[in-house]
């Protein structure tokens, strides 16, 4: 009976370990998808230069994320070199791929970190401020056309005054600009924060002897933290850019408001 009980217990542990590993893989896949979503939003807010695109190509060639450090870059290079070295690989394009892998390793070894750090704060803020101002002008023109269209249909002076007052509320319009630029990023950051809590909770429940699952959970949380760091850095740039844009817009809108109100007196 003791032997039977021991066997049953061992089988139970095996199935339990399998469930843990399955859960770990699922959490990692979800984290990767959320992290990629944040990367897409960052790219939308300020698309990279041609140099940035080359760097991204190199990360792709090595099969690693732009958040990878030098240790991971070297490890990926060794792995890829073993896979594509012409003396070993049977791939048709092995020589071409090996050349790209060497080029990627050489380029990335000269950089301290990934793509997100190739852009400095000043350039990032300037790019985002430009995007905000361009979008604001488009919204303002659209709102102006709507206001004129309503006036042409015939309204009382009181009604038109209310329409003008709404049009002159440029702060309300600029809030739409902010939401259009960073709204999706904010949602993705919140989603990743929630997923991080799930990963942390899962890590705390893993048996200490399940080293593979522990390592996987730690890598997942580390990747999430790096992605959150990038996202919140961009968000801080956005706050500066939006404040700068508001300062430029305010005096212009104040003058326009005076002109509009004079026209309806």
Tens of pLDDT, residue by residue over 90-111, are 777 878 888 888 888 887 776 5
Residue 16 lies in a domain: no
Q: What is the mean pLDDT of residues 44-50?
A: 63
Q: What is the pLDDT of residue 66?
A: 62
Q: Which of 4, 6, 45, 12 is nearest to 189 (CA)?
A: 45
Q: What is the pLDDT of residue 142?
A: 94
Residue 133 and residue 178 in one domain: yes
Asked which of 69, 90, 117 is the last residue of a domain, the reply is: 117
Q: Which residue has the tokens 């990038």?
A: 230
Residue 198 and residue 99 in one domain: no
- Please give the Cα distance from 139 to 75 (Å, whole number): 49
How does residue 74 score in pLDDT terms, banded at 50, 70 and 90?
confident
**Domain CATH number, residue 108:** 1.10.287.110
Residue 91 and residue 216 in one domain: no
Q: Which of 184, 135, 143 is nearest to 165 (CA)?
A: 143
Q: What is the mean pLDDT of residues 140-154?
A: 88
Residue 177 and residue 123 in one domain: yes
Q: How big, in percent rounded to 5, are the helix, strand and coil portions of the chain?
A: 85, 0, 15
Asked which of 117, 139, 172 is the last residue of a domain, the reply is: 117
- Please give the Cα distance from 33 to 36 (Å, whole number): 5
Residue 168 and residue 112 in one domain: no
Residue 151 and residue 250 in one domain: yes
Residue 102 and residue 199 in one domain: no
Element (H, E) at 206: none
- Please give the Cα distance from 116 to 84 (Å, whole number): 28
Domain extent, residue 97, equals: 49-117
Residue 3 lies in a domain: no
Q: Which of 106, 14, 7 is nearest to 58 (CA)?
A: 106
Residue 63 and residue 104 in one domain: yes
Asked which of 88, 117, 146 is the last residue of a domain, the reply is: 117
- Please give the Cα distance from 86 to 99 (Å, whole number): 10
Residue 132 lies in a domain: yes
Residue 75 lies in a domain: yes
Question: Residue 131: CA atoms inside 13 Å, Cβ hemisphere, count?
Answer: 22
- Total number of domains constituting the chain: 2
Residue 243 and residue 140 in one domain: yes
Determine contact, residues 76/62, Cβ cutoff 8 Å: yes
Q: How many CB atoms lie within 10 A of CB 32?
A: 15
Q: Residue 178 pLDDT > 60, yes or no? A: yes
């Amino acid at each position: 009976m003791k032997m039977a009980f021991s066997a049953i217990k061992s089988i139970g542990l095996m199935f339990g370990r399998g469930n843990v590993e399955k859960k770990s893989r699922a959490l990692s896949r979800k984290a990767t998808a959320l992290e990629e979503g944040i990367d897409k939003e960052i790219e939308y807010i300020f698309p990279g230069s041609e140099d940035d695109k080359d760097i991204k190509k190199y990360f792709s060639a090595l099969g690693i994320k732009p958040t990878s450090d030098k240790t991971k870059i070297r490890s990926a290079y060794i792995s890829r070199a073993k896979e594509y070295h012409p003396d070993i690989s049977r791939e048709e394009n092995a020589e071409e791929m090996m050349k790209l892998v060497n080029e990627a390793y050489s380029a990335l070894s000269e950089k301290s970190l990934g793509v997100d750090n190739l852009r400095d704060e000043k350039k990032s803020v300037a790019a985002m401020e430009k995007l905000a101002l361009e979008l604001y002008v488009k919204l303002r023109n659209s709102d102006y056309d709507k206001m004129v269209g309503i006036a042409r249909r015939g309204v009382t002076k009181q009604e038109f005054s209310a329409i003008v007052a709404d049009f002159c509320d440029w702060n309300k319009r600029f809030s739409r600009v902010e939401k259009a630029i960073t709204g999706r990023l904010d949602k993705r950051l919140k989603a990743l924060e929630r997923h991080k809590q799930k990963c942390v909770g899962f890590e705390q429940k893993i048996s200490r002897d399940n080293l593979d699952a522990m390592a996987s959970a730690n890598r997942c949380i580390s990747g999430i933290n790096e992605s959150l760091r990038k996202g919140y850095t961009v968000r801080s740039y956005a706050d500066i850019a939006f404040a700068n844009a508001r300062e430029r817009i305010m005096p212009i809108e104040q003058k326009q408001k005076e002109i509009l109100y004079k026209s309806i007196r």
